[in-house]
A and B are shown apart, each in its own frame.
Chain A
Amino acid sequence: MAAHLPYEYIYLRYKKKFPHVWCPGCGIGIVMGSIIRAVDTMNWDMNDILLVSGIGCTSRMPVYLDFNTLHTTHGRALAFGTGAKLANPALKVIAVMGDGDALAIGGNHLIHSARRNIEITTIIVNNNNYGMTGGQFSPTTPPGTFTATTPYGMMEPGFDICSLAQGAGAVYVARGTVYHVMELDKLIAGALEKPGFSVVEVLAPCPTNFGRANRLGDAVKMMESLRDGTITQVQAEKLPPEERVGKTVRGVFLDREDSEGYTARYARLCEQAAGGVSGK
C-alpha cells in the first residue's frame, strides 16, 4: 500500500488514521500537504517538531501528522505552544488553527503572541466560517455572506488577518491559497525559517458549510474562485484600482529582521539574573 502513496505519507500516521475525517474537497488536507513539504525542505528531525492546535476541523491536523503533537482546547493553541516553547526552546513549534480558533476565541492569544514575538510558526486556515460546528459565522466571514447564524447575510465587517498580525508585531506575515499550492509551500517554508512569530493565512474552501450556504458550488468551483479571486502583489500594483476591487492579494506582506525572539530574550535575561546584574 505504502508504495502507492505520495512521498508526504512518511510524515503521516498513515497506518492508523487514514483516510482522514475531512470532507471531500476540503482545503485543510491541501494545507497539511504544504506544511509537510515545507518541513521536508527544512531537513528537520521529526522529533524536534511540535505541532500544536486548538479545536475545529483545521485543529484535527495533529491527529494525522507524526510529529510531537498537542491537540488542545478551542482557541488555545498559542497558549499551549508558548508554554512548550519556553520549557524547551529547542523545539520547532508550529501552530495550526482555523479562523474561529485563531481570531474569535483565540484572538487575544494571537495578538499577544505577536507582540511578544514568541518563536512559533502560525498557520491559520481561513475558510470563512466555523466548519466543525455546522458553519456559523466567524470574524473572517465576508459581509453579506450567508452562514448558519447569518440568515440575512453577515452584517459585520471581517478581520484582515494579515494586517492584524502585522499591527500586533509579527515578524513574518504572508497569505496564500490552496489553489496556488506551489506558492503556498514556499510561503510556509519562509515562515518556518523565521526565528520569531510568523503568520501564514491560507484561504481554503469549506464546501460543506460555507460553500453550500452561499451556493458557491463544489470544491472544484471553490478552487476556481480562489484562482480567479486572488492576485499577487505584483499584479496588484499593476492593476487599476477599479479592477482590484473584490480581489484578495497573496504574497509575503512583512519579513522583518529587527526584532529578537522571545525565548532568545528570555535566555539573556536568565543569564543576567544568574550573574546578579539587576539590569537597572
Chain B
Amino acid sequence: MSDKPEAGRNAKQEKAQFPEPETTSVHIFPEWCKGCGICVAFCPKQVLEMGKDQKAHVAHPEKCIRCYLCARRCPDFAVSVYGHTRKAEEKRNEGTDGEK
C-alpha cells in the first residue's frame, strides 16, 4: 500500500474523467501530429495515409486490427487506438489494486 494514495494527481483518477469513445477504433489527433509518416509506413493493414496537409489520416478504419503499433510508434502521442486494455487496468479489475 502506498502511504499517500490520495495525494496529488493519480493516473487512475485522471483516466476516469475521460471515458474512451467506442465508435472508431483508431484516431489521429492532428494538433499533435508532425507528419513524420512512421504510423503510415508501419501499419500492417495500410489503415493510415498521409494527407496533403502533412498529417496522418485514417483512410480505412474497417481494416484496423487494433494491433496498437501505430500508437506505440508515434513519437508525438498523436494516435489513439480504442479497445485496448492496459495490463494495470486488468490487474485493477481483478481486484489486486490495493497491493502496490
Contacts and interface: CB of A to CB of B under 8 A. Distances in A.
A230 B91 CA distance: 33
Chain B interface main SS type: loop
Contact of B7 (A14, A26, A47): A47
A46 B11 contact: yes
Interface string A40-68: 11111111100000000000000000100
Closest 3 CB pairs of A and B: A29-B75, A25-B36, A24-B34
A181 B88 contact: no
Contact of B37 (A8, A33, A220): A220
A11 interface: yes
Interface residues of A, number: 48
15 contacts: A2-B18, A3-B19, A6-B77, A7-B20, A24-B35, A24-B75, A41-B86, A43-B88, A46-B10, A47-B7, A178-B73, A181-B69, A218-B36, A219-B38, A223-B42
A45 B2 contact: yes
A224 B74 CA distance: 15
A22 interface: yes
Contacts of B71: 6
A6 B75 contact: no
A4 B80 contact: yes
Given A3-B21, A40-B86, A48-B2, A8 B77 contact: yes
Contacts of A11: 11
A33 B87 contact: no
Nearest to B37: A220
A219 B35 CA distance: 10
A46 B8 contact: yes
Interface string B30-66: 0110111110011000000000000000000000000
Contacts of A47: 2, 4, 7-8, 10
Contact of A6 (B5, B31, B37, B81): B81
A182 B71 CA distance: 11
Contact of B80 (A6, A34, A179, A224): A6
A2 B80 CA distance: 10
B53 to A, nearest CB: 14
Interface in A18-45: 18-20, 22-30, 33-34, 37, 40-45
A33 B77 CA distance: 8
A223 B38 contact: yes
B34 A25 contact: yes
Given A8-B77, A45-B5, A40 B87 contact: yes
Nearest to B80: A6
A72 B87 CA distance: 32
Most-contacted residue by chain B among A7, A42, A46 (CB, 10 A): A7
Contacts of B38: 25, 219-220, 223
Nearest to A204: B75
